Structure 1
Amino acid sequence: MSVIIGEKISIKKLFSDEFFFMIPEYQRPYSWLEENCEQLFDDIYESNRESEYFLGTIILQEIENIGTGKKYAIIDGQQRITTLQILLACLRDRVTDAQYKNANQCKIFQKENLADGIPEKVRLEVKESLFFKKYVQQENGTNLIKGINCENFQQVNMINAINVFKDKLLDLTQFQIQSLIQHISQRCIIIYIATKEFEDAFKLFTIVNDRGLQLRRIDILKAINISPEIMNDTDIKKYALIWEQIEEDLGTELFEKLISYIRTIEVKEKAKDDILKEYENLIFGKNRILKGKDFIEYLKDYKTIYEKLLLDKSILTGHLKEIEYKNLINIMTDFLPSTDWIPPFLYYYKRFKEDSIFDFIEALEKKYVADWILGVTSTKRVVNMNSILRKIEMSSKAEEIISSEVMKFDIINLKEKLNGDIYNETYCKYLLLKLEYLESEHNIERKYSTISVEHILPQTISEKSTWRTLFKDTDHRYWKHKISNLILLSKRKNSSASNYEFSNKKEKYFKRKISDLVRSQKILSYSDWTPKVLEDRQKNILNLLLN
């Protein structure tokens, strides 16, 4: 490991002619939101003016000498450094005293210093360099933002940050502004850690991350794959843009999930360590996927697959099963208890494209749901999904997977579970949705938002109710929580209607369209609701669910 320098320094020194900074292409764009900027300002402004105020740690890679100073790539801390530069610019343009104004501008823009061999240079090089120079780095720039058209979300975030700080400074007196400038310059401190080698800087990055600071795993993975150690400058710019486009298209949360799904597809085992360590040791370390271009192209490929299968649901366009497929995916993505089934689905498409894909997703859904109903632990469910991944890897034909042992489950025990009381089970609502799916014509795509479970035979029966003439106490206890007695309402149910007589309940819930669900609407076809009706329904439901 190369020499590591670490020091606690003031903002005055951090933004002096000893330090110049650049944000590498592999870093994510400026993404601090208004609330982040407000929090930074409030924390600084309300901190004790007689004591040092700690602004965090930054990690740097030394790039080159600039006169008596040095230029550093920011490995961690670019969001804070960029925001501090914006804050200093807003203070510069709000303060009227020339000495304070010049002091702040020197922290943003370095004038030529012939004696020390330092050229005229911006203190911070960002991706949006022309935009940042015009509205932040040049004097009076923050006063030019009114009515400008931003070209991307990074510019929007920068303008929002300027507006936040300008609003905060608007009601301050010149004395208060000068006091704040002094406090930031003299008593706000940063700890910087610097080394010459990227690998060492990255190791420091991960160490800080392990100690609990809020660094995103995907940023570290990005740094591993888009680094000057394995790419030239042209490729760094190209693949940084690809990475950022994937994240923008999917959103951060879904992008992180996709990274996790790929880990599962490649390793085919339950995660035992931090995802970064598993990528380093089990994927890159074993050459399952090569770092750099190969990994990012691989990621891009799976992003396309994910969109086709689960977002656009476009794989069976024009097929007889097109709407049926979409409706099945909708209930699976919205109502299954986890997404453990997604990696096998993505991997299947990667291997076999649309070959028997509807048969596969039907079999996969049945296996996953059966495990869930049978009380298989979440850990064992993951193991079972990984077994399917291994079967996909070993199979040369799609049919081998669908008919294999990895898709089988205990159908006798499952039938017993389905024949029991399901109302209080976690899978109750899903099963009722699955029945809606099985009994629908699939002429339109259907997504479900507000749904509730309703008993036809009420949970409690009053002594004067006509239900008493139809159901003995033993019959009532036996049937009330069975699946044949439960339906879904497509709106919030009216609890006052729960104990209605059957005819009144039909009028309240169905003739007035409180439920537009196909299976629920079929209740209208029943003239009465008896133990025999429930028995026949139960047989029909079990046949639907088990075949």
Structure 2
Amino acid sequence: MTRHTIEAGEKPILDIFCDKYLFRIPSYQRPYAWTTEEASELLDDIQTACGTTGNVADASPYFLGSVVLIKDPQKPEADVVDGQQRLTTLAILLSVLRDLAEPKIASAIHGYICQTGDPIKGTEDVFRLTTRERDASFFRTAIQAQGATATLPDMRQLKDARARMVENAAFLRDRLKDHSEEQCRRLTMFIAQRCYLVLVAASDQDSAFRIFSVMNSRGLDLSPADVLKAEIIGALPADKQEEYTEKWEDMEDELGRARFAELFGHIRMIHRKQKMQGTLIAEFREFVPTRKAPANFIDSELSPYASAYEEITDRSFSSFKNADAINRQLTHLSRLDNFDWQPPAIEVIARYRDDPDFILQFLSDLERLAYGMFLMRRDPSERIRRYGKLLASIQAKDDLFAEGSTLQLDDHEKLEVRKSLGADIYTVTRIRLPLLLRLDELLSGGSAVYNTPVVSVEHVLPQNPPAASQWSIDFPTETDRQQWVHKLANLVLLTRRKNSQASNYEFTDKKSKYFSTKAGVANFALTSKVLAETTWNIDTMQKRQAELIGAIEKLWRLA
């Protein structure tokens, strides 16, 4: 009879990237998907936890999360059921630190990346992490091999998981390249000695998947909002508790449990104005004054903030004036893949509800700032610092629309945004669709409405045009194609998923069979303007590039 086992334990990285484990990402797992956003957060959190303590052994330990494995207790091979994004990013980070280190330290770090073979035993080197089979060889040569991250491949030639691997390696290297050898050595020591993962290993697949399901179940476990409710309501006089419990629960019902819990994170930010360093409950207790005047907190903060947050997330602001325009601005902001902009929006709508002109102007400039920071590739820590300063200005009643305000872009930032708009927009995967939808609405005079379940971004000039085609005549060199293929001018919107075969059509066929309204494509302004062109060459794209960037520059006052 087969004996099934489950083992769980908290282990430092030095006891994880060791000979006891050879991690494998099964083929059924989704591709590696972490972007520079997640990589930046991981590095920021580790560096913050590391601090400047002289002796790394004295630094407080840092918990990186959990990993679920299928593993025979007697063998090192371990299939990763949950945690591949974190493990892969840690392997990338260690590879970057290795390639920035002097030879002796580099050799030591490589020991965490690769298990050294033994010529006496006849064993070969084995990398401690093997990604999905289709990407494993690439990951070994482009990232894990010694010296690999010093000469990374061109990300523009890569797709999906491989592009993310290279992009994150380049990002982490850029963040760490100016650190001294001692700083990098100390950071590596902290990762190895003081960063912990909880490893949960089941000997059979069924047990592993049950563990994964339980650990990721949303259920109805106590949220931080539940804990804070008990403390805040409990601080009220006994004769007021029932009344305020009803108010609290009405707000939770109106927003829904998930959004109500999210609101407390935004309220923490409104008060703290910095990235969270501890737990939400701990920081809420320290920075949000609730216990001395709990009724005032519920009436004057929680209630107006909950109303504002509902309007922001539902795009349902109502007023005697500007309501439609304000909700359009909220829609533009909602397309971004972060919510860092929401606390300032909550604060302004709660404070200035009776001044819709102010709210509309604020949200228009907030859109400019939020998209601008995305285009300038500001990392989460930089964004949060900027929004923290903006919150302070709002609360100080500064002139938010004056030159030099934290809400406004300075001349250097305007230049950065213009340069980013002129770069390879398609490769910036998280901004290309929101930007193109915003531009399309702008070109349509604000009349565009998007109700389709799928909107995709497609190239006009194909990424890999056939050799014997008009494309190769109009763009005769690889340099010509690479210069233009990912630019804003070469991109259109479709209301269906991409068709790899149709993407290589000649321009005339592409217009009639792939881009036209007869082919079932919505009448996007961006796409319609392409249909009006008779040819698609460098001159065409130069004019279109100038038109599109000019429209955005005028909207966002970038000149």
The TM-score, its normalising length taken from structure 2, stands at 0.55
Give the Å deviation of 1:214: 4.6
Does structure 1 conserve the Cα–Cα contact (< 8 Å) formed by 2:424 and 2:488? yes
- For the pair 1:439 / 2:440, whether they are aligned, the reply is no
Q: Which residue of 2 aligns with 1:296?
A: 298
Match of 1:358 among 360, 365, 369: 360
CA distance in 2, matches of 1:458, 1:316: 47
Q: Which residue of 1 aligns with 2:517?
A: 511
- Structure 1 segments, 4+ long, off by >6 Å, are none
- For the pair 1:221 / 2:228, whether they are aligned, the reply is yes
Give the Å deviation of 1:340: 0.5
The farther-off stretch of 466-475 and 302-311 is 302-311
Q: Which residue of 1 aligns with 2:35?
A: none
Does structure 2 conserve the Cα–Cα contact (< 8 Å) formed by 1:230 and 1:292? yes
- For the pair 1:494 / 2:499, whether they are aligned, the reply is yes
Q: Which residue of 2 aligns with 1:412?
A: 415
Deviations 1:450-493 (A, max 9, x none): 11110001111112211222112132221111110011112212
Does structure 1 conserve the Cα–Cα contact (< 8 Å) formed by 2:344 and 2:390? yes
SS at match of 2:269: helix
Superposed counterparts of 1:133-212, under 5 Å = none
Compared CA separation, residues 351 and 273, structure 1 to 2 (3 A) = same
Deviations 1:40-87 (A, max 9, x none): xxxxxxxxxxxxxxxxxxxxxxxxxxxxxxxxxxxxxxxxxxxxxxxx
SS at match of 1:272: coil
Compared CA separation, residues 294 and 344, structure 1 to 2 (3 A) = same
Does structure 2 conserve the Cα–Cα contact (< 8 Å) formed by 1:231 and 1:292? no
Q: Which residue of 1 aligns with 2:348?
A: 348
Compared CA separation, residues 290 and 263, structure 1 to 2 (3 A) = farther
CA distance in 1, matches of 2:245, 2:278: 27
Q: Which residue of 1 aligns with 2:424?
A: 421
Q: Which residue of 1 aligns with 2:309?
A: 306
Q: Which residue of 2 aligns with 1:338?
A: 338
Match of 2:533 among 502, 506, 526: 526
CA distance in 2, matches of 1:487, 1:533: 14
SS at match of 1:423: helix
Pairwise CA RMSD: 2.3
Q: Which residue of 2 aligns with 1:538?
A: 545
Superposed counterparts of 1:12-31, under 5 Å = none
Matched to 2:330, the amino acid is I
Match of 1:385 among 380, 384, 387: 387
CA distance in 1, matches of 2:360, 2:492: 27
Q: Larger Rg: 1 or 2?
A: 1
- For the pair 1:244 / 2:249, whether they are aligned, the reply is yes
Deviations 1:109-163 (A, max 9, x none): xxxxxxxxxxxxxxxxxxxxxxxxxxxxxxxxxxxxxxxxxxxxxxxxxxxxxxx
Compared CA separation, residues 312 and 301, structure 1 to 2 (3 A) = same
Matched to 1:314, the amino acid is F
Match of 2:434 among 430, 449, 458: 430
SS at match of 1:417: helix
Give the Å deviation of 1:318: 5.2
Does structure 1 conserve the Cα–Cα contact (< 8 Å) formed by 2:441 and 2:448? no
Matched to 1:384, the amino acid is R
Q: Which residue of 1 aligns with 2:236?
A: 230
SS at match of 1:407: coil
Does structure 2 conserve the Cα–Cα contact (< 8 Å) formed by 1:327 and 1:445? no
CA distance in 2, matches of 1:511, 1:344: 40
SS at match of 1:366: helix
Matched to 2:285, the amino acid is E
CA distance in 2, matches of 1:292, 1:245: 17
Q: Which residue of 2 aligns with 1:265?
A: 270
Compared CA separation, residues 448 and 225, structure 1 to 2 (3 A) = farther
SS at match of 2:377: coil
Does structure 2 conserve the Cα–Cα contact (< 8 Å) formed by 1:356 and 1:398? no
Matched to 2:314, the amino acid is L
Does structure 2 conserve the Cα–Cα contact (< 8 Å) formed by 1:421 and 1:482? yes
Give the Å deviation of 1:435: 0.8
SS at match of 1:339: coil
Matched to 1:215, the amino acid is L
Does structure 2 conserve the Cα–Cα contact (< 8 Å) formed by 1:327 and 1:437? no
Give the Å deviation of 1:397: 4.9
Matched to 1:395, the amino acid is K
Compared CA separation, residues 411 and 507, structure 1 to 2 (3 A) = same
Give the Å deviation of 1:537: 0.8
Does structure 1 conserve the Cα–Cα contact (< 8 Å) formed by 2:444 and 2:525? yes
Does structure 2 conserve the Cα–Cα contact (< 8 Å) formed by 1:465 and 1:501? yes
Does structure 2 conserve the Cα–Cα contact (< 8 Å) formed by 1:330 and 1:447? no
Give the Å deviation of 1:368: 1.7
Does structure 2 conserve the Cα–Cα contact (< 8 Å) formed by 1:374 and 1:413? yes
Compared CA separation, residues 318 and 391, structure 1 to 2 (3 A) = closer
Superposed counterparts of 1:25-40, under 5 Å = none
CA distance in 2, matches of 1:441, 1:224: 51
CA distance in 2, matches of 1:316, 1:540: 35
Does structure 2 conserve the Cα–Cα contact (< 8 Å) formed by 1:224 and 1:291? no
Matched to 1:404, the amino acid is S
CA distance in 2, matches of 1:283, 1:295: 9
Does structure 2 conserve the Cα–Cα contact (< 8 Å) formed by 1:456 and 1:485? yes
SS at match of 2:241: helix
Deviations 1:227-272 (A, max 9, x none): 2x52224x22221121111111111111111111111112222222
Compared CA separation, residues 443 and 370, structure 1 to 2 (3 A) = closer
Matched residues, number: 326
SS at match of 2:465: coil
Q: Which residue of 2 aligns with 1:371?
A: 373
CA distance in 1, matches of 2:252, 2:283: 21
The TM-score, its normalising length taken from structure 1, stands at 0.56
Does structure 1 conserve the Cα–Cα contact (< 8 Å) formed by 2:270 and 2:344? yes
Matched to 2:327, the amino acid is K
Q: Which residue of 2 aligns with 1:454?
A: 458
Match of 1:255 among 256, 260, 267: 260
Matched to 1:532, the amino acid is D
Compared CA separation, residues 511 and 437, structure 1 to 2 (3 A) = closer
Matched to 1:421, the amino acid is D
Matched to 1:329, the amino acid is L
Give the Å deviation of 1:505: 0.9
Does structure 1 conserve the Cα–Cα contact (< 8 Å) formed by 2:316 and 2:327? yes
Does structure 1 conserve the Cα–Cα contact (< 8 Å) formed by 2:325 and 2:360? no
Deviations 1:390-442 (A, max 9, x none): 11112255544x86244224122222222111212132222211211211233
CA distance in 2, matches of 1:387, 1:362: 18
CA distance in 2, matches of 1:327, 1:423: 24
Give the Å deviation of 1:290: 4.3
Does structure 2 conserve the Cα–Cα contact (< 8 Å) formed by 1:388 and 1:407? no
Give the Å deviation of 1:494: 2.2
CA distance in 2, matches of 1:449, 1:441: 22
Compared CA separation, residues 378 and 352, structure 1 to 2 (3 A) = same
SS at match of 1:527: coil
The farther-off stretch of 438-447 and 415-424 is 438-447
CA distance in 2, matches of 1:266, 1:459: 48
Does structure 1 conserve the Cα–Cα contact (< 8 Å) formed by 2:317 and 2:326? no
